[in-house]
Amino acid sequence: MSLTFYFLCHGETIQSREGRYCGALNPDLTPEGQEMANAFVLAYQSIPWETIYVSSMKRALATAKPLADAVGVQMQLRGGLQEMNFGVWEDQTHAWVKDNHLENYMNWVADPAWNSPKKGETAIEVASRSMAVISEIREKYKDVNALVVSHETTIQVMLCSLLGIDLGRCRDRIEILEGSVSQVTIGLHGPLLQKLGDRSHLRSE
């Protein structure tokens, strides 16, 4: 057996439903988002979970709690798993950002590794804090299943970091949607991607 990471993206929020940037904001899940969390439990509770690491934001906690309660594993909260800070773009639509911060937006799209939303974070900064949590898990555990509940961009960044994909292409190479599960096993030859952005456990999929 090897160390296997399951990366679960939190369920739907009002901002994700409306296509608004939501990084440092701290909304609750919508009822549909809570249903996503419950659907994950039904599909994955039979896995022998050893540890559950969770972003300290409310939407991630609400997504992780049903599984943690069902399997009796205490959640480990980590700020390093929080979503990218989108600065002045927070709670704004993509169209608004393009209309009001076009140059900033185009620079970010071209290379989010080194370009940030105005007053926000770069992918490099997100990788620094989130991969510190992954390193912590890898140091503590060897042959277990570890659940990591986080956010769209942060999961994109962590997957790219694990798989050796340029962070400047994290938005182009990895698609993560609300309620999706990605699976990476740390084997003899390094990280192996076994599942990406899977939402087959959701009833609507």
Number of residues written out for the chain? 205
In a domain, 135, yes or no: yes
Greatest pairwise CA separation for the chain in angstroms: 51
3-9 and 181-187 strand pairing: antiparallel
CATH of the domain at 23: 3.40.50.1240
Structural domain for 170, as ranges: 3-198
Alpha helices in the chain (DSSP H): 14-18, 31-44, 58-71, 94-100, 102-110, 123-140, 152-163, 170-173
In a domain, 204, yes or no: no
In a domain, 83, yes or no: yes
What is the DSSP code (8-state) at residue 144?
S
In a domain, 17, yes or no: yes
With left for phi above 0 and alpha for psi between -120 and 50, is residue 202 left, alpha or beta?
beta
In a domain, 131, yes or no: yes
In a domain, 205, yes or no: no
pLDDT tens for the chain, 205 residues: list them.
Answer: 699 999 999 999 999 999 999 999 999 999 999 999 999 999 999 999 999 999 999 999 999 999 999 999 999 999 999 999 999 999 999 999 999 999 999 999 999 999 999 999 999 999 999 999 999 999 999 999 999 999 999 999 999 999 999 999 999 999 999 999 999 999 989 999 999 999 999 975 5
Beta bridge partners of 159: none
Residue with tokens 């140059």: 103
Q: Is the pTM of this model over 0.85?
A: yes
In a domain, 84, yes or no: yes
In a domain, 56, yes or no: yes
Domain count, the chain: 1
